[in-house]
Structure 1
Amino acid sequence: MANRPLAYVLSERKATLGRLAGKTVIQAVPTGRKRIDHRSFCEEVGRATTFTGAEVEAVLRLAAEIAKRHVENGDSVDFGDIGTLTPTFSSSLVEKGKEEFNPTKHISKPAVRLQPSRRYFTLSGVSYERTEKTARAKNKQNTPEDNHP
């Protein structure tokens, strides 16, 4: 697979932090090309191995389920080159002495956090290509000519 340049657009905004706070700044923002859906990804991996796309998908799903089960039990899971999966949650602040900490009340949003492997997720050998911003459609109204059979 040949490397293509990473597309970006220049975005103008007002800085809110740091030495440029309050000033108008220009920043490069990556633009997406396309999303590789899960099934296509599994088929591509399958073509590079002796597995079929369905077998690759089944193995990935099983690995994710088992990792989630370990994280639900409070364990961290080293997921190889991808990184480490750890449990996380939000917690409310409770003033000491005013109220007793109740985990069912004060802890919320339990989730799996992926701490990506820095070595694996640092891109090298990339080039850049500036593209033009595209106008996004804002709440397009359905018109009779839009409803083709």
Structure 2
Amino acid sequence: MDTYKNPMGADDSPSSGLTRSYTRSSKHELLKQIRDAVNPNQRWHNRILIAQAALVTTAVVLLVIFAILAQIEILALNEAAEDEIIPNLDSIIGSLKGIEQGVNASYEATLYMPLLLDMNRMSKELEGNLSITVQAMTNSPILSGAMPFG
């Protein structure tokens, strides 16, 4: 039998192919019975495929909604940048330059800190030397007026 022929039999040759006998079922019901016999779980498979299609459709709709909301937020940020940041750009740059000058001044002040340690050590030595000098001058007979000719 050729595969392109009707399995229920051709109308002109009742002996070729399958024929219905002693049944009140229509061709449609017989095809359903054959389908159920060949693949009994086809109905469940169809339901699963429909559920998967519904889930994928829902996911796509949610992604489209998310993309639209993201686009709206990006447009709002663009407008805010044009309204707030760009007009105030000169003042922002001026503030940054002021901060830069303050940082540079602070950095220059920290460059001399190693010298401050040396200056502190030397001033303590000078203080000690000055106290010795003052002590020597106050106890000196020349400066105290105890000179024999004076």
Q: What interval of TM-score do these two structures reach, taking the shorter chain for normalisation?
A: under 0.3
TM (norm. structure 2) is 0.18
Query: Is the strand fraction higher in 1 or 2?
Result: 1
Query: Is the helix fraction higher in 1 or 2?
Result: 2
| Structure whose alpha-carbon radius of gyration is higher | 2
TM (norm. structure 1) is 0.18
